[in-house]
Amino acid sequence: MPQTVLVTGGAGFIGSHTCVELLHSGHEVVVLDDHSNSAPEALERIAKIAGRPIAAAHVADVRDRRALDAVFTSHPIDAVIHFAAKKAVGESVQIPLAYYDINVGGTMALVAAMHDHGVHRLVFSSSCSIYGDATTVPLTEESPAAPTNPYAMSKWTCEQILADLCRHVPELRVLALRYFNPAGAHPSGLLGEDPHGVPNNIMPFLTQIAVGRRDELSVFGDDYPTPDGTGVRDYLHVVDVAEGHRA
């Protein structure tokens, strides 16, 4: 059945692609985004791809309870997909307090608002970074968590708090999705990853070099057990990530 879904960070990289999947599936979409690492133009492109607009867009910080209350009061929200967070491992080491404040504090403000307004279904965007320097692959849900930086710890902390809330609030339903390295762009070419400032991910860095916005890419490491000694990573296409959140 069609539902109204609140997507926090809905103008961002994964959030915007998820909005497209939700609209294609017949759902109504409400977006909350402060555009600290996204552009309002993404919402227009979502509408162009999906053939219909989102129901509403709210420019606000996910930690702002007054703004959250206004969203839940204004729309009949059935469920929430929560992307709004800071996400760069290196940056989290430099500004750990901001990561805990935004990632953990924002999640708690959101869940509190949901509870107050009778909304009990949440899909939480987590991260495989919670596994740390795992020595056994492939990773499973039973693999032990061992976060090694404030970003990973913030995601793991949110998961633990949400799990505990589910034990004490019977009506609450939370699904945490863990994944590594989303990359790519929508096949239309209208949506992709275009962060503010210096990219923290290799794909937008490469594309900015390709169009002349940056001069070169630094490659770190030459002694990995790979054909040329440089690092190899798994990547997941952003549309697949978006479809997973929609499902």
| Catalytic residue IDs | 151
The reply to whether 142 falls in a domain is: yes
Q: What is the CATH number of the domain that holds 129?
A: 3.40.50.720
As a whole number, mean pLDDT of residues 14-20 equals 98
- The residue segments making up the domain with residue 141 are 4-183+236-246
Backbone angles phi, psi at 154, to 5 degrees: -65, -40
- Helix residue spans in 37-148 (DSSP H): 41-50, 65-74, 89-94, 96-99, 105-116
What is the length of the chain?
A: 247
Give exposure, 181-204, as e/b (b: 16+ Cβ within 10 Å): ebbbbbeeebbbbbbeeebbbebb
Mean pLDDT, the chain, whole residue set: 95
pLDDT at position 201, please?
83
The answer to the question of residue 240 being in a domain is: yes
Cα–chain center distance at 211: 26
Residue corresponding to tokens 């056994």: 136
Are the C-beta atoms of residues 82 and 125 closer than 8 Å to each other? yes
- Say which range, 28-37, 109-118, 173-182, 201-210, has the weakest mean pLDDT: 201-210
In a domain, 212, yes or no: no
Residue 220 confidence (pLDDT): 86
pLDDT tier, 224 (very low <50, low <70, confident <90, very high otherwise): very high
Strand-pairing partners, residue 81, are: 7, 123
Of the listed ranges 51-65, 104-118, 181-195, the least confidently predicted one is 181-195
pLDDT recorded at residue 234: 86
Q: Quick one: average pLDDT of 158-172?
A: 98
Residue 189, C-beta contacts closer than 8 angstroms, at least 6 positions apart: none
Residue 9: band (very low, low, confident or very high) from pLDDT cuts 50, 70, 90: very high
Owner of token pair 């539902």: 3
Domain annotation covers residue 122: yes
Rounded to whole angstroms, how far apart are CA atoms 247 and 243? 6
> What are the CA-CA distances from residue 244 to residues 14, 60, 99, 197 (Å)?
11, 26, 25, 28
Residue identified by tokens 């863990």 is 178
Q: Is the pLDDT of residue 194 over 90?
A: no
Inform me whether the pLDDT recorded for 18 exceeds 90: yes
> pLDDT tens digits for 80-112?
999 999 999 999 999 999 999 999 999 999 999
pLDDT at 233 over 90: no
Domain-embedded: residue 216: no
Would you state the pLDDT for residue 219?
A: 87
- In this model, does residue 183 exceed pLDDT 90? yes
Please give the pLDDT value at position 195: 83
Higher pLDDT, 231 or 116: 116
Integer Rg of the chain from CA? 18
pLDDT for the residue numbered 243: 98
Confidence (pLDDT) at 171: 97
Distance CA 124, CA 91 (A): 21
pLDDT tens column, 132-150: 998 888 899 999 999 999 9
In a domain, 195, yes or no: no
> 176 in helix, strand or coil?
strand
Q: Is residue 223 part of a domain?
A: no
Is the residue at 191 inside a domain?
Answer: no
Q: What is the DSSP string of 15-62?
A: HHHHHHHHHHTT-EEEEE---SSS-THHHHHHHHHHTS--SEEE---T
Domain count, the chain: 1
